[in-house]
Structure 1
Amino acid sequence: MRDADVVIVGAGAAGLSLAHRLCAPTAGRHRPTVVLVDAPSGPLRPPERTWCFWEPPGGPYDAVLAASWGRLRVRGPDGSATVADPAPFRYKMLRSGAFERLVGERLSGPDGCRRIEAVVESVQDTATGARVRGHDAAGLPLELNARWVFDSRPLPRLPAARTTLLQHFRGWFVRTADDAFDPSVADLMDFRTPRPAHGLSFGYVLPLGPRHALVEYTEFSAGVLDAARYDAALRHYTDDVLRLGRFEVTGVEQGVIPMTDGRFTPRAGRSVFRIGTAGGATRASTGYTFAAVQRQTQAVADALLTGRPTVGGRPRRAPVPPSPHSRRSRAMDAVMLRALDTGRVDGADFFTGLFRRVPTERLLRFLDGGSGPGEDFLIGLSTPVAPMLRTVAELPFLRRHGPREPGPREPGPREPVVRRPDPPRSHP
């Protein structure tokens, strides 16, 4: 006996997005019964996270955004700034708590959609679908049987790859004593930070008001730092670079995002599928995931809601989550990662050059996988051509290494899950 048509494991960006779409009012279409399984309160449930993405105004989540920006800025190591208007896009910031409340309202509304808290221990195929086993917050055993299971939990190991970097970061929500930020401009990359021995580092500033912002220190490198080293980098950035003066830290975020050319397999069984980062939604060259998750979960929802003809009560085709990134995009990402990892290109020069030379709207479409071959070729000409061509030539001969550990839980873009927020504190 089935408990639901669909069980979604994990309530991060991917799990919430799929539940939101499957439980929407669907006039004239069959709506499956859905169970969303989230970890109980405690160490397995991450603290509130920040997801950032770009899209035109009027998106489905605009009502619950924390902020959005119509101008983007990138600063070189010498402080030179490139400020761009990404129209028709806006850069948007969504907090996971607001998104959870939005989806929670939908889950509590229609019949057949519900959310439970449990620790999932196994997901396995059965003769008629798939089974999820675990235990609830009280330690009592839980078993759910469904036709389809979509698992958004982090993989225990990253897939074998030719190149794997980690995008790791720590951010402070700061409140300053005096006006210090321009709320109309988001700083995507500020390279006025000390360069690590391997990879690159930059600051990231999302103003929420003249005196309130999320300020992050980010590295693309092979390994993560401890909290003390992140805090030292943040103190340098806030005090010596931004010169914020006196401020209070009201919250902390920290996370690790894999940047890899490894091959993620969305299908984990006949009736079990991976979505989100585990299903290949993270863009290897940037770490952004949220927009790709929307495309991936929309495709799954469309497959489940179209009422395909069935044979013996079973759909003819399984709703396999598609890769939200094209083969061409993944190939270009592999080249960029290898060029950065080998040091053939300087990361700060590479990214500042792209934002200086490529129209921002075209660059953002490229980063989102929406540009065409001709546009991709022109963007490639804006990169250091010789080292990139050398990298293209050597990639087919490189072996894939691994698997390797992904680090402390594997989040989506700006989806930190390493530790709980620190208590507020003041900086003179």
Structure 2
Amino acid sequence: MRYDYIFSGFGLSGMMILHKMMAADLHLNKSILIIEPEDKSENDKTWSFWEKNQGNWDFLLSKSWDEAYFLGDGIKTNCMKNGYRYKSIASDLFYKTIFKKIEGCKGIVWKKEKTLFFQEQNDTVIVKTNEATYEGATLFNSFYNRNEIINNAKYPLLQQHFVGWFVKSKTPFFKENTATFMDFTIDQQGNTRFLYVLPFSSTEALVEYTLFSPELLTQTEYEEGIQDYLKKIGLHEYSITATEQGNIPMTVYPFWKKNSKRVLNIGTAGGWTKASTGYTFRNSDKLSEKVVDLLREKSFDFTNFKVFNRFTFYDKLLVRVLFDNNELGKSIFSSMFSKVSPDKIFRFLDEESSLQDELQVILSCPKLPFIKALFKS
């Protein structure tokens, strides 16, 4: 059987694409194959993002915050102004919502298999798994070879890696409408390190110890970082109700150059993760919309779906600076959030800014490291 659409891997980006395809009735009279070995039933991650006003996914929010602070030495800035809110979605609710929508659709088939490789041949894409071989007219691919981006001199790999604890205090402790967006007041230890606190009630919060750095830590180091921080803010009696951890590649490696007429690389495999922040949710939301707009056309070609632009260039410089001098993260982010209005920074990071906004953000950063990175690039 030849499928109209094949999803190789079914994570955030794939689910968003299929959800929007179904909302636009693009799945009707089509055969769709999902190849994904995992059940996607656990609450394995928390997606958090800033957004102005109402958003497409507000109906799934676990929580949103009117205030979210950037903290540095002598700096306390509320980043949620001019209509912005910080929002959070639990992955298990997201998964359940998507699954409920696709269950019962006769044209959608799920194979709990692992993709080994795929190949485009004329008007067909061949996908080989550990169990079988499938053919499709269009492939959305979520897998990539991590070895391609490790030790790549031209496109250095910075990593956003973290461990988070969902903690519950015995008595009210947290301000449930106030989040900590980035707290750089902790010991940096030669890296770019910050804490992230999202209160879901006065007694419950997600506390994450996060780094932007080339190298990972031991599990104990992350956990000790959280313990020290909780002591620092005065929380001594608490229980850990759940944990999460992750490692998000921050690189401008041009994954998108592998896109073709019938194959679109999506998610991290397509360069959908914002290299300078590690944020993926908002990018995936916007790019999945672009995918669906293309699919509405009778003839489409994914070859130029994503290209190198000025924002990719900005990201490339920041990644290079933090890769070569990882201890500079605190001073860079502190300079930005103390000199520039947060809404301008968010527009800049969302790639929706004017050149005037971009110039203001760029000039707020330490100059010499970026000049050196420019010549290296």
Please list the CA deviations of residues 215-236 of structure 1 after superposition, one character each: whole Å capped at 9, or x if unmatched.
Answer: 0001122211121121111111
Would you say 1:117 and 2:115 are equivalent positions?
A: no
Alpha-carbon distance in 2 for matches of 1:82, 1:183: 18
Partner residue of 2:137? 147
Q: How does 1:153-164 map to 2 (within 5 A)?
A: 153-159=143-149, 160=152, 161-164=154-157
Alpha-carbon distance in 1 for matches of 2:94, 2:126: 28
Partner residue of 2:357? 375
Alpha-carbon distance in 1 for matches of 2:32, 2:21: 8
* Structure 1 residue matching 2:134: 3-state secondary structure: strand
Structure 1 unaligned residues grouped into runs of 5+: 136-140, 309-314, 397-428
* Greater fraction of residues in helix: 2
Q: Against the structure 1 CA distance between its residues 97 and 369, is the aligned structure 2 distance closer, same or farther, given a 3 Å change threshold?
A: same
* Structure 2 residue matching 1:231: 3-state secondary structure: helix
Alpha-carbon distance in 1 for matches of 2:301, 2:264: 10
| Contact 2:192/2:327 (<8 A) preserved | no
Letter in 2 for 1:180: F
Q: Select which of 335, 347, 354 maps to 2:329.
A: 347
1:164 Cα deviation (Å)?
Answer: 2.2
Number of aligned residue pairs: 374
Partner residue of 1:177? 170
Q: Select which of 18, 36, 39 maps to 2:37.
A: 39
Normalization by structure 1: what TM-score?
0.81
Partner residue of 2:284? 293
Alpha-carbon distance in 1 for matches of 2:5, 2:137: 6
1:20 Cα deviation (Å)?
Answer: 0.9
Partner residue of 1:62? 58
Alpha-carbon distance in 1 for matches of 2:31, 2:257: 22
Alpha-carbon distance in 2 for matches of 1:363, 1:245: 35
1:91 Cα deviation (Å)?
Answer: 1.4
Alpha-carbon distance in 2 for matches of 1:179, 1:353: 34
Letter in 2 for 1:318: D
| Contact 2:8/2:35 (<8 A) preserved | yes
Q: Select which of 289, 305, 308 maps to 2:296.
A: 305
Would you say 1:224 and 2:246 are equivalent positions?
A: no
Partner residue of 2:241? 250
Q: How does 1:17-416 map to 2 (within 5 A)?
A: 17-26=16-25, 32-41=30-39, 48-77=44-73, 80-135=75-130, 141-159=131-149, 160=152, 161-197=154-190, 199-239=191-231, 241-267=232-258, 271-306=262-297, 308=298, 315=299, 317-320=300-303, 322-323=305-306, 327-343=309-325, 346-392=328-374, 394-396=375-377
* Bigger RCO of structures 1 and 2 (CA < 8 A, at least 6 apart): 1
Q: Against the structure 1 CA distance between its residues 24 and 149, is the aligned structure 2 distance closer, same or farther, given a 3 Å change threshold?
A: same
1:204 Cα deviation (Å)?
Answer: 0.6
| Contact 2:142/2:268 (<8 A) preserved | yes
1:109 Cα deviation (Å)?
Answer: 4.9
Alpha-carbon distance in 2 for matches of 1:361, 1:47: 31
Partner residue of 1:414? none
